[in-house]
Amino acid sequence: MIGNLVIAGFFGFLIPMLLKKLKLDPAVSSSIFLTTAKDVGGFFLFLGLAKLFLPHLL
């Protein structure tokens, strides 16, 4: 859960800054990209932890 919070904080800062540099409105489209980045990051963190702990459970 901490990893997902770190990912959310990082992309929550990075995505609006990138959209601002591209002269796009960050308030309109940053939530879509932030949600996608959080979900993908959390999914891969979950898979990584499962791969790490699965040999110890079997």
Q: What's at 57, amino acid-wise?
A: L
CA–CA dist 23, 52 (Å, integer): 42
Give the model's confidence band at 53: pLDDT under 50 very low, under 70 low, under 90 confident, else very high.
Answer: very high
**Cβ of 42: how many Cβ atoms within 10 Å?**
16
User: Total structural domains in the chain?
Assistant: 1
pLDDT in tens, 17-45: 999 999 999 888 888 988 999 999 999 99
DSSP line for 3-58 = HHHHHHHHHHHHHHHHHHHTT--HHHHHHHHHHHHHHHHHHHHHHHHHHHHHHHH-
* Backbone phi, psi, residue 25, to 5°: -75, 110
Residue-level pLDDT at 1: 80
Residue 19's domain spans which residues? 2-57
